[in-house]
């Protein structure tokens, strides 16, 4: 299982966002699509950053429950370029899944963007993708 190429289990229909987008746009995109990770790209689709739900929660005032409404006024002053993780580590579709697992484990990442030779985003692999694959592999 760990020698399988990442392209066998990555999500290739990646939802991305540009670094000039507002945090309000990022939050809406994550909420409406039910995702927790947004690769940030330039106008050519090249990876420049990563923004996650964890990054969003770091910026927001505390809430007692995830069901409590988000204070959008707290997000207004920011664009992604201000708060994203710049130039995140990325892997190739041909890299083995073991490389993604090691990177996620060592760095405590919830995902790894997958890029081509020109750093254009072609996929994303998350811890959930790996667990889903492992469940089917172990059955």
CA end-to-end span of the chain: 13
The predicted model gives 60-77 an average pLDDT of 70
Is residue 98's pLDDT more than 70? yes
Contacts of residue 23, Cβ cutoff 8 Å, sequence gap at least 6? 56, 59, 75, 76, 78, 79, 80, 83
Write down the pLDDT at residue 94. 97
At the top level of CATH, the class of 6-138 is: alpha beta
> Which position has the token pair 């987008």?
21
Domain boundaries, the chain: 6-138
pLDDT-based confidence at residue 2 (cuts at 50, 70, 90): low
Residue 23: how many other CB atoms lie within 10 Å: 23
* Residue 101, CA distances (Å) to 13, 14, 63, 131, 136 in order: 21, 19, 32, 10, 17
Rg (CA), the chain: 16
At 62, the pLDDT band (50, 70, 90 cuts) reads low
Say what percent of the chain tops pLDDT 70. 91
3-class secondary-structure state, position 106: helix
What is the per-residue pLDDT for 56? 86
Cβ atoms of 33 and 127 within 8 Å: the answer is no
pLDDT higher than 90, residue 101: yes
């Amino acid at each position: 299982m760990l020698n399988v190429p990442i392209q066998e289990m990555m999500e290739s229909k990646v939802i991305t966002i540009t670094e000039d987008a507002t945090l309000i746009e990022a939050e809406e995109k994550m909420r409406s699509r039910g995702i927790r990770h947004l690769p940030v790209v330039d106008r050519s689709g090249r990876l420049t950053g990563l923004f996650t739900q964890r990054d969003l929660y770091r910026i927001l005032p505390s809430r007692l429950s995830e069901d409590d409404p988000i204070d959008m006024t707290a997000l207004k002053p920011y664009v992604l370029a201000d708060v994203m993780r710049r130039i995140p580590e990325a892997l190739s579709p041909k890299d083995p899944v073991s490389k993604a697992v090691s990177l996620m484990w060592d760095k405590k990442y919830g995902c790894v963007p997958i890029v081509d030779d020109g750093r254009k985003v072609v996929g994303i692999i998350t811890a959930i993708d790996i667990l889903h694959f492992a469940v089917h592999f172990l059955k």
